[in-house]
Amino acid sequence: MDAAEQATRIKILHAMGLGPMWLSRYASDETAPVVATPAFADTPPAVVLADAGLAAPVSLVDVPPAPVTVVSEPVESVSGMSWETLQAEVASCVACGLCKGRAKTVFGAGDTAATWLFVGEGPGYNENIQGEPFVGAAGQLLDNMLHALGIRRGDRAYIANVVKCRPTDSNGKDRPPTPAEIQACLPYLRRQIALIQPKVIVALGKTAAVALLGVDPETPVSQLRGKEHHLNGVPMVVTYHPAYLLRKPVEKSKAWRDLCLARKALPGSA
């Protein structure tokens, strides 16, 4: 690798918050320059602890929800909806019990004609309040990952989730959505994919991967990542969820490889 390529690689790794660990793994020699501080702090702010279910929930989510009638059947009539109608439908959805505790639905954000679609699990504490996907530390890392690819939210990238309302346990902490909640919400994501027509999909973590691929929910991410899947002809790559990468930064090198695989899967990239 020549000096210019090395400098570009260092910039990209730095943008992803990947420090010397990645460099030593890929550097062609041990004297390669080492980047300074990672782009995100090791200690998450209080809101992030709350997002990760590590702090007590505060008043907003404790406000008694307005009574709603929950329709137990999955949403079925979305396949012909426009973007605006779909958005309105999600905002008023009562197809599963998650609607009862929500402050805001989180429809998704970004470029509605995106090349890249990133799919997460579902809103957490902060997303439920703000109505935006991936805010907080995991969102910051995701933004760094996008930056490393030369894209960003709203510019060739769209970020969605499998479920649009925050799943919480009996203590008000984040939890993964149940299979029934996923089934109720999946038609919305499918319609988003049909409308966006992305050129590549990146599933962030197990919930997104198994929901989109329809495989056994117990399948570990490690078995699904590292290869190209196809979703109605659209290439899809599975990688680790940013929140997992924050807990296990040693896995970031694999995530970067997954992103490179996704970039290679883009039509015309060869």
Q: Tell the smallest beta-carbon distance from residue 207 to ligand URA (Å).
A: 7
Residue with the shortest CB distance to ligand URA = 120
Do 114 and 196 contact (CB within 8 A), yes or no? Answer: yes
Which has the closest alpha carbon to 182: 148, 209, 150? Answer: 209
Give the 3-state secondary structure of residue 6: helix
Do 237 and 229 contact (CB within 8 A), yes or no? Answer: yes
Give the 3-state secondary structure of residue 171: coil
Q: How many CB atoms within 10 Å of residue 55?
A: 14
Cβ neighbors of 265 (< 8 A, separation 6 or more) are 200, 228, 235, 237
Which one, 19 or 133, has the nearer CB to ligand URA? 133
Which one, 13 or 90, has the nearer CB to ligand URA? 90
Which one, 120 or 235, has the nearer CB to ligand URA? 120
Q: Tell the smallest beta-carbon distance from residue 106 to ligand URA (Å).
A: 6
> What's the CA angle centered on 143, arms 138 and 149, to 5 degrees?
130
CA torsion, ordered 117, 120, 122, 126, to nearest 10 deg: -90
Q: Tell the smallest beta-carbon distance from residue 150 to ligand URA (Å).
A: 22
Q: Looking at this protein, which amino acid is placed at residue 251? A: E
Distance CA 147, CA 139 (A): 12
Q: Tell the smallest beta-carbon distance from residue 41 to ligand URA (Å).
A: 18
Which one, 13 or 212, has the nearer CB to ligand URA? 212
Which one, 61 or 266, has the nearer CB to ligand URA? 61
Q: Tell the smallest beta-carbon distance from residue 44 to ligand URA (Å).
A: 13
Q: Tell the smallest beta-carbon distance from residue 154 to ligand URA (Å).
A: 16
Distance CA 113, CA 139 (A): 21
Which one, 124 or 235, has the nearer CB to ligand URA? 124
- Please give the residue ranges that form the binding site for ligand URA (CB under 6 A): 106, 120-124, 127, 133-134, 138, 161, 243
